[in-house]
Amino acid sequence: MEFAKLRNRATQRGFGMIPSARSLGHTLIELVTVMVLVGIVAAFAAPRFFGRSDFDERGFFEVSMQAVRYAQKLALASGCDTRVSFDGSGVALHQWISGGTCAAAACTGAGLTPVERPGGGAFDETAPSGVSVGTATFCFDSIGRPRNTVGLLAAPVSVVVGGRTLTIEPDTGFTRCTAGC
């Protein structure tokens, strides 16, 4: 008899309660509601993850940054001025070479020769459709300093590629992403 009283008191205080069959699972309405909410979120989130435009923009930005870095290294290695030009449709690299030797160009004049890619073909990248490219032209001299037609750069050069900004620092030619990274 004492045991029965103790068990009743424990049950009343919440100890040793046996869950009912109703609390063991979820109702059909709860499951359908969760599935509808997941479907709505997926409908808005999926295009963001599977759209190509963001990947194309980021990829072309990386190609542009590597092109500028390659131009500086090529100018250092060859001793020839190397021009980088962003013209709204893409980026291209050229050198002033005349008869197989460097021509003194100081970032101006004729005699431009397209730079060959390490794997072959001209280093001329066209932006994917939907990716906007700003305009800028500068060159690297034989010791890797960025210059324009007037002389050494006095201020950084910035080029907008899609939603990102590529900046080339004066004196060093350090190339980095400064906005939208």
Mean pLDDT, rounded, for 100-120: 75
Instruction: Please list the residues that pair with 1 across neighbouring strands.
Output: none
Structure-block tokens of residue 140: 């690297």
The residue among 144, 142, 85 whose CA lies nearest residue 115 is 85
Q: Is 123 contained in some domain?
A: yes
Average pLDDT of the chain to the nearest whole number:
82
Q: Is 93 contained in some domain?
A: yes
pLDDT for residue 106: 64
Backbone φ, ψ for residue 15 (5° rounding): -90, 135
Indicate the pLDDT class of residue 18, thresholds 50, 70 and 90: low
Q: At 174, which CATH number?
A: 3.55.40.10
CB atoms within 10 A of CB 97: 19
Indicate the pLDDT class of residue 2, thresholds 50, 70 and 90: low
pLDDT for residue 4: 61
Structure-block tokens of residue 47: 């295009």
Residue 67 CA to its chain's centroid (Å): 14
Number of domains, the chain: 1
Give the domain extent around 175.
54-179
Model pTM?
Answer: 0.70
Mean pLDDT, rounded, for 118-124: 84
Whole-number Å distance between alpha carbons of 180 and 176: 11
Give residue-wise pLDDT tens across range 35-89.
999 999 888 877 767 667 778 888 899 999 999 999 999 989 888 889 999 988 8
Q: Is 59 contained in some domain?
A: yes
Q: Is 111 contained in some domain?
A: yes
